[in-house]
Structure 1
């Protein structure tokens, strides 16, 4: 099936793939899930129709608890209903989630998995929130990147409707939700063919109706409560097969190979990592590198986390496996192991003699680059690897962290052009870079990826944009460490001593926006940076975009000036084509403010 390619982030992909299946969306905004609800509402107001020929009805409640309660009521009334949330917002939905699952009401909660407030608040991503819901009775489906979000979100809706088991459909907050990629999209007509019409009719008939009154939510004593609680077992037993069937239907349509658990690596691997979420793409890159070196390694990607199908898991685990590292993106203080680790231990109990160890990574979106994966595989080489460990940090308190090599190999595909932009929140750098990705992704045959690193202050804080472009699909969900092009849009970062120049590859390009003379710039860079520039033959360019922006009436927003310079210096697309596309995006972004602003 030919699919249209579009450049979008994970949130937009989730909203795009969920909109056709829903009639009602009950929402309450929370970072980083809000764009899903915003897109849904915008499309509804714009007249977009779902698979049933109607516009989705969107209702904003006064809290996430209200959104879950309204969803529960809407489902009982026979409307296909969804919501979007994360973190503490998801926790506020838990009481209603027990009811929805207990009453076998099909629905999907789309979650941009995010850290929970503990010793402090964090708005960034990990799996603490979804793990906290694994006991509610909701099935749980995980995606790795924006393309998988687009491809697999329909599975959650289709399988929920047929099985009557509600779903949490989740992917990593910020790392996937806000990562922009060029992906292939669905045609609604293809999705419509997969809906089980008998299941849909049965769902409608179960709706509460004063003409046909039924009793629900009654009080039960010990004589029957336990038996009725167990009565849902057949539904959960059947669910893995239903999910597998829909994955196979999708595979047949778009040529993919989605399974409940996907194995990647040497079929006779001795060392295997098990994980779910965006980290799997990082592991894949390292597996490819090590396979080329003759090492027997592999990865198991968990897609259907609940119910956990031991049968399907064992089918993909190589019989040659001797060491296993199970990686969890959470921490459960006081537990003998994190959730996925304990699931794997139980799944393999009495069935494998492999050594199983557990690791933690990526809490609060902590970057987990290939160096961390190399450290895990190196640890698995040991006769007695650590039973519990962390990667990506230096733990000098309990000494659980694995040492990571500073000279770890670069596993990014050789043809990939990597770029890094240092800006300040509110200066337009992030917005300009988002436009640049879409300009390149939607107007060339190149693939594009963009990720935007903020600090919690947002406006006024440091922003670093990580962009990659290439001829092949880009799956590198980690920061750019060595770039072909680096731009410093805020010269104060040079004065503050940020190591910006050292991020540039040999013969790379460095662009500085400043009001300094050449001699002043040289002095500000300092001896170490000047030495690096000379030894690595870095091409340095300077522009006073600040004065140019003021002169042409743009105030402090230097983004358009610097975006023009980027296209001129990078030569990714011809300069004149880039300028015309930039003008088109300016009209799209600011047209509502009038021609004078544009």
Structure 2
């Protein structure tokens, strides 16, 4: 309830007292005066309680003796958790730029330190070297209770917990004490769940979703200092090669199979328990080695690339998402420009490949070139075809081959994504989003829907539902949430999906895979619980909140696929709306209105529920309209 000025007075007084700038009694008097000015209207009892807290605090100040050796403390240097062969660029950047900036010494850097970054690009994967160690408790794996479902890794916002398949030799060479199981379905491999304890934020989302065995979870949150070996195991396993046959066995577009793929978004600065990053991380696991990302300003640009640290990274081949940020108002157009530029380059290369196939004499080049042409627009297979073509062209060595090889990085079909939040997609950048979706081009738009402008302080957006409190809607938003999905579906040729990971892990990965494979524009709207929601049970329960939102009918999961025989699929079950009000009251953004103005809350919440009911009835009509079979309850 205090204003910034009063809080500042209290903090300054406390600081001055501790540093001896003003006498203790004067500092206490200033703090009490600030407390009275803040709470006086609430009655003398409240003021007295605040004064008692100030008095108690003054008596309990304890002097901490700082060891003399701290004067000569040295930097720990880089934490080499990742294989560094061929990554000297990122090591140099971290040593020369990132370490200085993180130490608040960036102003001391000379202009010459930036000579390798004059075009604005910086190396990917630098967040892996920070090892912040901010968690009090981190997950520790108990193999006895593990069913190897990989859900913990699937929901981890920071990619710190990962399933690993090891050969017998790799398992034998592991650090002493590392626990393993036989990999279910592939006994030739060992299985372990490794945790980067120093990158963990301690949110507990992994433990929350772990099914365990017979009610006993396979993960437990334990003190970081007591779990120091966890980092040693992670440092070993993260350098092991990804097992492609394991991914093929469990299929990459599944919850379990996808998690054996390397996350190419790791150790971001997102809030503990973030609802956005699990979606983005999953997308990088599926397509990251060939992704272009245009990112709107907002939370996803802050956790996505806050200078100087970059959490988007690369695989062993040096392939990873090419990421760049644009503004709220033009990010969709920015991503569209990436797509057009890439397509223009590939069309030029296509003409050259067609020439060597039609007129060349090298049979290997002709065969590889034809395979590349046949898969030109199919990202899932064109990458392998590109590798064959490059190998054939390098072996050929002719002039036409050299012309094509000069632009070999552009040969493979790229996966173009446009990332942003609801403030961008529903509001400020909506015109651009609409324009890009209407283009008919093969492009993917991912909306992290927190239903509020999260990064800029929690302002109301057109995605904010009726009755929610936000800035510019302090008395509860009076108007209903904009139906972005229906606007996009009205085009008829746009793939549209609404997903909520915690409600349906399988539907999430299926929708993302379908959207990317669809040869036209795609829009995915993902429900993303946010710290701004004030979830009563905390952000460790973000995935549970996603589940509850769908179960009560607050959110619905569905897919509209223009290429499918039955175009519309309502993937969530008939909601139990008896629990609707319980869901609203479980979040501060709603229950604070209940406390402030019960009559208004009752009116707006009833309107919110009525709109949700109407929304469900509308979606049921789409089932009939598009001839799909509703999922059985």
Q: TM-score when scaled to structure 1?
A: 0.27
Q: TM-score when scaled to structure 2?
A: 0.26
Structure having the higher Rg: 2
